Amino acid sequence: MKSLRCLFIVLCVSCSLVKSSAQTDFTNLAAQIKRFVPTKISANTSGLSQGDRKALAKLIEACKLVDSIYLRQVWSGNIYLFKELKMDKSTRGRDRLHYFKINIGPWSKLDNDEPFIENVPNPKPAGANYYPADMVKAEFTSAVDRLGPQEKTQMTGFFTTIRRNVGGQLTVVPYSQEYAEFLRPLAGLLKDAARLTTNKTLRQFLNKRAESFLSNDYYESDVAWMDLNSPIEPTIGPYEVYMDELFNNKAAFEAFITLRNDAETKKLAKFSGSLQEIEDNLPIDPKYRNPKLGAASPIRVVDEVAIGGEARAGVQTAAFNLPNDERITREKGNKRVLLRNVQEAKFNKVLIPIANVALDKNLQSLVSFDPFFTHILAHELMHGLGPHTITVDGRQTTVREEMNELGSALEEAKADISGLFALQFLIDKGVVEKTIERKLYATYLVGAFRSVRFGTKDAHGKGMAMQFNYLTDEGAFKYDSSSNTFSVDFDKVKPSVKKLTGEIMTIQAEGSYAKAKALLEKYGVVRPEMQKILDNLTTIPVDIEPQFPLAK
Ligand code: ZN
């Protein structure tokens, strides 16, 4: 049920990576706000038909209604506090409003949800505004236990809130009723956009989603979303369940209004044509290779035009995997959407400053967005290659099952390092231009610092530290103490990448939890050289604060 958003290790400085443990000083909010650099996010609309342009305007308008719903989902007092903050015109008042808008609530997402405004619940309500504020977990579970199967599904469903009736008992309210004042006009805007667009699949999705908002049944419109083949690629509705920290049941509203990026889509198609050949050449025992790869899940590369609801809150989403409905993922898989212009903004505002600190001066000019994003594409594709279904002691099982809690760190590290391996393979074959080679490795080195910056407690940081230290021990990365920077040995990096790809994939093929643990424990740490550089990164922003000129 949970989406795989946080699995995109190279893509995002995802929320879970950036929580600091120390008490944060909220007397000077300007310093906290500074962690998010204001950045314009724009896209090329010149390829759109007249009708699609008009449809796009309607969808941008729809984002505001999604904002209104999400604001109410966070906390029952959120809307009143927001109104109050807007009236305070003092400098401190403006800072509070600004930081409230970044977090869409009075709790700082970068600081373990500590409140930055006084007289609000502390800790943040675990059930958000999905449940009555005075409800405890046990009351809900015992109420659910007393219900028949159908009512149970309603009560624990994605798209309902739980309220108290006049007698004080818990009752179920469908989103279509709870948020009717916003969902009715939202459905209207989507229907308007459906009439305007010149694309059939988009029309279908928008009409079906409009109906979902009114009927509270999202199945058909999720299917239509999977089938989208359109220059405008909207994702709009109730999706992720992270904010329901009590049960991970209730979905938060959000919207990503995006345009398909045709150049990157072509690049993706080119790589996809080489996947079987890459699989056939993986540096593992041939018996572990898959002689016939299945159909890969669809990947879309898009540029963001406007966002709404949860998508606005805190660290910006750089990629997502949807839908969460298991009926659909069983039938149709799920779709990965990569937000190219968001990645580029993060690259410019976060990665380049890190490169200026962490990388040998002579290599700094090699760090560039094109190899960065090409590696992201390779990373995504490589998730589909290598061992998945395996045999251990004669029993058929999966890598995921055998690896338990180490699974995602190892799988993400696999996608990273084998993404480099695959691109080198395609460079050597002349499918990918040779000019990218040195850039690829220099950019990857810098990316490691971004991932490890917030610690190795997190699976992503651990997986990245593991790769970095392994390559360092192989002589592929070199530390220079006089400049306190790292550099790449371009001769050694290629065989080292191949060796680590083979090692990780063999551990996966064998289903060896013990070997995975040993590898991560030995290498998945921050060594003193790396720490010395990390200490110099503290003033570099954590993320962007997006501004959407096209949405104005
Ligand atoms: Zn990944």
Compute the distance between CA of residue 299 and CA of residue 278 in angstroms, rounded to an integer: 18
User: Tens digits of per-residue pLDDT, 463-513?
Assistant: 999 999 999 999 999 999 999 999 999 999 999 999 999 999 999 999 999
pLDDT at 20 (0 to 100): 44
Question: Cα of 322 to ligand 1 centre, how many Å?
Answer: 14
Question: How far is C-alpha 491 from the chain's CA centre?
Answer: 34
Give the 3-state DSSP-derived string for 361-409, with helices as H, strands as E and coil as C. HHHHHHCCHHHHHHHHHHHHHHCCCCCCEEEECCEEEEHHHHHHHHHHH
**Mean of all residue pLDDT scores within the chain:** 92
Question: Cα of 414 to ligand 1 centre, how many Å?
Answer: 9
Question: Cα of 364 to ligand 1 centre, how many Å?
Answer: 26
H or E stretch covering 287 = none
pLDDT at 22 over 60: no
Q: What is residue 316's DSSP assignment?
A: P
Compute the distance between CA of residue 443 and CA of residue 440 in angstroms, rounded to an integer: 5
pLDDT at 23 (0 to 100): 61
Residue 533: C-alpha distances to residues 147, 150, 463, 478, 479 (Å): 57, 56, 19, 13, 10
Give the 3-state DSSP-derived string for 200-218, with helices as H, strands as E and coil as C. HHHHHHHHHHHHHHHHCCC
pLDDT at 16 over 60: no
Question: Cα of 415 to ligand 1 centre, how many Å?
Answer: 6
461 vs 74, residue with greater confidence: 74
Compute the distance between CA of residue 144 and CA of residue 211 in angstroms, rounded to an integer: 28
pLDDT at 147 (0 to 100): 93
Q: Packing angle between helix 459-473 and helix 437-452, nearest 10 degrees?
A: 130
The DSSP code sequence of 140-163 is: HHHHHHTS-HHHHHHHHSTTEEEE
Question: How far is C-alpha 243 from the chain's CA centre?
Answer: 15
Mean pLDDT calculated for residue range 364-382: 94
User: Tens digits of per-residue pLDDT, 349-363?
Assistant: 999 999 999 999 999
Question: Cα of 204 to ligand 1 centre, how many Å?
Answer: 30
Question: Cα of 279 to ligand 1 centre, how many Å?
Answer: 17
pLDDT at 405 (0 to 100): 85
Mean pLDDT calculated for residue range 74-87: 97
Cβ 315 vs Cβ 12: under 8 Å: yes
The contacts of residue 54 (CB under 8 Å, 6+ apart) are: 193, 196
pLDDT at 14 (0 to 100): 33
The contacts of residue 82 (CB under 8 Å, 6+ apart) are: 71, 100
Compute the distance between CA of residue 509 and CA of residue 490 in angstroms, rounded to an integer: 29
Cis peptide before 323 (omega within 30 of 0): yes
Q: State the pLDDT confidence band at 438, using cuts at 50, 70 and 90.
A: very high
SS3 of 321, please?
A: strand
What is the C-alpha R_g of the chain?
Answer: 24
119 vs 408, residue with greater confidence: 119
H or E stretch covering 292 = none
H or E stretch covering 522 = helix 513-523
Find the angle CA(50)-CA(55)-CA(57) to the nearest 5 degrees: 100
Question: Cα of 282 to ligand 1 centre, how many Å?
Answer: 18
Mean pLDDT calculated for residue range 20-38: 80
Compute the distance between CA of residue 10 and CA of residue 380 in angstroms, rounded to an integer: 10
Tell me what percent of the residues of the chain surpass a pLDDT of 70: 96
Q: Which of 66-80, 236-250, 396-410 is least confident?
A: 396-410
Number of alpha helices (DSSP H) and beta strands (DSSP E) in the chain: 23, 15
Question: Cα of 44 to ligand 1 centre, how many Å?
Answer: 27
**CB-hemisphere CA count at 13 Å for 508?**
28
Question: Cα of 529 to ligand 1 centre, how many Å?
Answer: 27
Question: Cα of 380 to ligand 1 centre, how many Å?
Answer: 6
41 vs 6, residue with greater confidence: 41
Question: Cα of 416 to ligand 1 centre, how many Å?
Answer: 8
Q: State the pLDDT confidence band at 3, using cuts at 50, 70 and 90.
A: very low
Mean pLDDT calculated for residue range 59-73: 98
Q: State the pLDDT confidence band at 27, using cuts at 50, 70 and 90.
A: confident
Residue 372: C-alpha distances to residues 336, 351, 416, 491 (Å): 18, 10, 11, 20
What six digits make up the tokens of 350? Answer: 């976060």
Question: Cα of 24 to ligand 1 centre, how many Å?
Answer: 31
Question: Cα of 537 to ligand 1 centre, how many Å?
Answer: 25
User: Tens digits of per-residue pLDDT, 223-235?
Assistant: 999 999 999 999 9
Question: Cα of 253 to ligand 1 centre, how many Å?
Answer: 24
Question: Cα of 376 to ligand 1 centre, how many Å?
Answer: 8
Question: How far is C-alpha 441 from the chain's CA centre?
Answer: 23
Mean pLDDT calculated for residue range 313-335: 88
Q: State the pLDDT confidence band at 192, using cuts at 50, 70 and 90.
A: very high
Question: Cα of 337 to ligand 1 centre, how many Å?
Answer: 12
